[in-house]
Structure 1
């Protein structure tokens, strides 16, 4: 009986604990930036996440972002990630790269 309870709890919490970085999708341009949605699977839903980057003479600068928006499909999470990235770019411009910790 105790083993059955342990197995049940292990299965029930496995999806909650699992937070694997999302596979990056194809980069899409926005202004002088590139956006790569990278939705993350959490349980049965997809978390909105992505990467904004810019190539320049000093190399590539990139900033990752994660939002709390959850979706049933990866496509919806990636569409939201692109929209959120555009908002971040419009609000912060190149300053968004200054906020990344080394």
Structure 2
């Protein structure tokens, strides 16, 4: 796992808040997904404001989370993550929280 990567998940009732820092890539995307999908949780917030690198594996993890939490996911991107999502055509997704950099 990347030395610059960390992920923590805090469960409050049926909601998990996941905070991610550093680089989300092929080596760390599964850890992001796992932290965001603990048992007995029905909604999630993923805070990516401290993410410095975000690749296609990370995008796939977000898409999987959106499928896991249909209508119940909020993602707070860093400016870099937002740019990657814009390039990928995902900037208009309902789970993407506007203006959170």
| Greater fraction of residues in helix | 1
- Normalized against structure 2, the TM-score is what? 0.25
* Structure with greater contact order relative to length (CA < 8 Å, sep ≥ 6): 2
